[in-house]
């Protein structure tokens, strides 16, 4: 594994990105590395992609299922032993499966909540003590545009993402002023999770800006909120104008 990038060493800050082996997580890890952070690249199962990304950006890769609270505690310990105290935690890990209400199994319902909502809970609970002890920290959770408007065949997904918003807003109040907590709720973005139907003109013609988003655009939003010194509890939804609030 390559050593941390020189810019990151000079800046001396560490960012943890969960679900970083592809999509928005990968773009976020790349963006934070470019901004001078030492980046902890978390992956659930795709070790090859996680290790390759970490090597390319001068970070370190860590396998962990964020649905497992014990594994997350070990993850945080390993990251801080390897890269130093975590200054920024980006809770991005997730998955997306469409199912009508009548065929959402108990297993899928529970797994969705454990990964999307539980992952945020487990990571924040594990990083907050250290951030409090140091008197500073920043957490960004990744929700979804669908949490604002709902969707068809995604009640389980929307329920979890909407809960992430409520969880994050509550923490923003509870953890201030030392720790800031903000939310990014992306619209349709060009990642492996996006259904093919949302890539064509049938969908993009309904988007005021005329296209789906790019992962690097969401990564830029995450970096901005992570570093915005007078912002906490904010919900930013880069979605091309589909949802205007």
- Tens-place pLDDT, residues 96-108: 999 999 999 999 9
Q: Which of 189, 240, 227, 191 is nearest to 90 (CA)?
A: 227
Instruction: Return the pLDDT at 88.
Output: 98
Instruction: Return the pLDDT at 5.
Output: 40
Instruction: Return the pLDDT at 177.
Output: 98
Q: How far apart are the first and last CA of the chain?
A: 44
Instruction: Return the pLDDT at 4.
Output: 40
Instruction: Return the pLDDT at 148.
Output: 97
What are the tens digits of pLDDT across the range 208-243?
Answer: 999 999 999 999 999 999 999 999 999 999 999 999
Instruction: Return the pLDDT at 245.
Output: 83
Edge-to-edge strands, sheet with 60-63: 60-63, 37-43, 13-17, 88-91, 137-142, 179-184, 235-236
- The residue extents of the domains of the chain are 6-236
Q: Which of 231, 102, 229 is nearest to 156 (CA)?
A: 102
Instruction: Return the pLDDT at 207.
Output: 96
Q: What is the token pair recorded at 126?
A: 């594990």
Q: Does domain 6-236 have CATH number 3.30.830.10?
A: no
Quick one: what percent of the chain has pLDDT higher than 70? 96
Q: Using 70 as the pLDDT threshold, list the residues of the chain that sit under it.
A: 1-11
What are the tens digits of pLDDT across the range 6-23?
Answer: 443 435 799 999 999 999
- Predicted TM-score of the model (pTM): 0.94
User: Catalytic site residues?
Assistant: 157
Instruction: Return the pLDDT at 12.
Output: 79
Distant-in-sequence, close-in-space partners of 210: CB < 8 Å, separation ≥ 6: 204, 240
Check if the beta carbon of residue 63 is closer than 8 Å to that of residue 43: yes
Residue with tokens 């810019």: 7
Instruction: Return the pLDDT at 196.
Output: 84
């Amino acid at each position: 594994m390559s050593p941390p990038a020189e810019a990151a060493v000079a800046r001396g800050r560490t960012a943890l990105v969960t679900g970083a082996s592809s999509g928005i997580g990968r773009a976020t890890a790349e963006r934070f590395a470019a901004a001078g952070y030492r980046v902890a690249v978390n992956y659930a199962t795709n070790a090859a992609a996680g290790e390759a990304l970490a090597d390319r950006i001068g970070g370190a890769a860590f396998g962990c299922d964020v649905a497992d609270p014990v594994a997350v505690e070990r993850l945080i310990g390993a990251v801080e032993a390897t890269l130093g105290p975590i200054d920024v935690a980006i809770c991005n890990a997730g998955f997306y499966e469409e199912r009508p209400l009548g065929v959402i199994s108990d297993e899928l319902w529970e797994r969705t909540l454990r990964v999307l909502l539980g992952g945020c809970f487990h990571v924040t609970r594990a990083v907050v003590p250290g951030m409090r002890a140091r008197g500073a920290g920043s957490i960004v959770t990744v929700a979804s545009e669908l949490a604002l408007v709902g969707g068809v065949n995604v009640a389980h997904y929307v329920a979890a993402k909407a809960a992430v918003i409520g969880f994050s807003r509550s923490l923003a109040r509870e953890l201030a002023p030392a720790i800031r907590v903000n939310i990014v709720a992306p619209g349709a973005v060009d990642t492996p999770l996006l259904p093919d139907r949302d890539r064509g003109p049938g969908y993009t013609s309904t988007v005021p800006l005329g296209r789906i988003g790019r992962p690097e655009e969401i990564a830029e939003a995450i970096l901005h909120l992570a570093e915005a010194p007078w912002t906490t509890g904010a919900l930013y939804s880069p979605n091309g104008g589909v949802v205007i609030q």
